[in-house]
Amino acid sequence: MKKVLLLVVVFAAAGSVCPAGGKHDRVGVGEKSIAERIAGRDFPSVFQAWSRADNIRGEDTLVTTARHDLVWHGVRWFGLVWDKSPAGLGEALRPESIKKAREKRRALLKLNPNIILIAEIRYRDAGRGFLPRNHEWWLRDERGRIVKGWAEGGFLCLDFTNPQFRRHVARRAGAVVESGVVDGVMLDWWSDDEHRLALVKAVRKAIGDEYLIITNTNDRTAPRTAPYINGYFMECTRNRKPKHWEKIAATLKWAQNNLRQPRVNCVETWYHKSRNDLNLMRAVTTLTLTCSDGYCLFSDPNPLPVGDHLHNWYPFWNKTLGKPVSEGLNRPDGTVVRQFENGTVIYNPMGNKTVTVIFPEVRMRLSSGESSKSHILSSLDGDIFLREMPDNPPAK
């Protein structure tokens, strides 16, 4: 009896936890709902996929993280700890870790009241210590050998064709959402097969309708599973040809119109030569702005021998636009344009000609600070053209 009472006290100290889909005892008084935070943010909106922005010297890492409007990471990054070892066996979280993680959530929301926090739930592959070596949930080939997964991470494949394992994954997703620490879950390596459809149905049931599911489809659509998903992580590894950029735009527009509400589509492209490929950074930013209400990221290529998705924070991403006031429009000159409260965004796709943009009044070009009625915009580039305002300095 004493043990039961002690457990109740510990959970009370950490904050109440309710069934999936219910209202949590949120950390911050007056915290906005998920939908309110998504709708309440200004643009551009940038996301963090696991790894940080590492170019701002001397800034507290939490402050740098809060520059992003959407962040996902493994549960340990938030401070959450599974109740079993190896961690892949856990279906509940240690109460003391929930309390610590809620403090981190509260700090991030104080810095950015519109931030969305997502936990990755591993289901396709994981590190060698994720499960006991001989566990049945490792995927094996016809000779009984465990199948290798993501090579760069030295991961091993998990058998998500196993219904028991899918139920386990769903319970883990439910546990992290019920903790009150995150706003949803992210499922990597996504496509439209029957086993992933069964998995996402189970995860949706476990977390309820209020919370978010993001899946990594790269530059593809996944129509069968779309009714259960709020956003795609478009990890666009192919971005060196016009047809690649056309497919990115087409998939993003499809996701913007077909995924579950509220939508949180996230588009990432990689640099070609260096992080100073500023036209590529502007291209993915303006493509995302004109084709969706989503989030963008320009990062290091995965094959580099450093952490994947590391990136700079670019002043071009500072919030200058306010909110959109129209949908994106395709112009006869091949560009895409969209109007925002404080200015105009224009995206010039790869393969299009250099264009001259003319406004009826003087506009400040954010990338250079140049003020003029006429601006030249090269192919595979984009820019933000602000109505001249003293609080909108140029991005350098």
Domain boundaries, the chain: 32-124+160-318, 320-396
**pLDDT at residue number 26:** 44
| Domain 320-396, CATH among 3.40.1350, 2.60.120, 2.60.40, 1.10.3470 | 2.60.40
User: Rounded to the nearest 5 degrees, what angle is found at the Cα of 317, between the Cα atoms of 315 and 318?
Assistant: 70
Question: What's 87's DSSP letter?
Answer: G
Once rounded to an integer, what is the mean pLDDT over residues 332-354? 98
Contact 244, 219 (CB under 8 A): yes
Q: Is the pLDDT of residue 15 over 80?
A: no
Once rounded to an integer, what is the mean pLDDT over residues 92-115? 98
Contact 114, 69 (CB under 8 A): yes
Question: What's 312's DSSP letter?
Answer: P
**pLDDT at residue number 7:** 36
Q: Does domain 32-124+160-318 have CATH number 3.90.75?
A: no
**Residues above pLDDT 90, as percent of the chain:** 88
The alpha helices in 15-126, defined as continuous H runs, are 34-40, 61-66, 75-78, 95-111
40-54, 254-268, 314-328, 377-391, range with the lowest pLDDT? 377-391
The 10 Å Cβ neighbour count of residue 45 is: 25
- pTM assigned to the model: 0.91
H or E segment at 7?
A: helix 2-14
Once rounded to an integer, what is the mean pLDDT over residues 383-390? 84
- pLDDT class for 305, splitting at 50, 70, 90? confident
Long-range residue pairs from 357-363, CB within 8 A, at least 24 positions apart, any chain:
357/385, 359/385, 361/387, 362/388, 363/387, 363/388
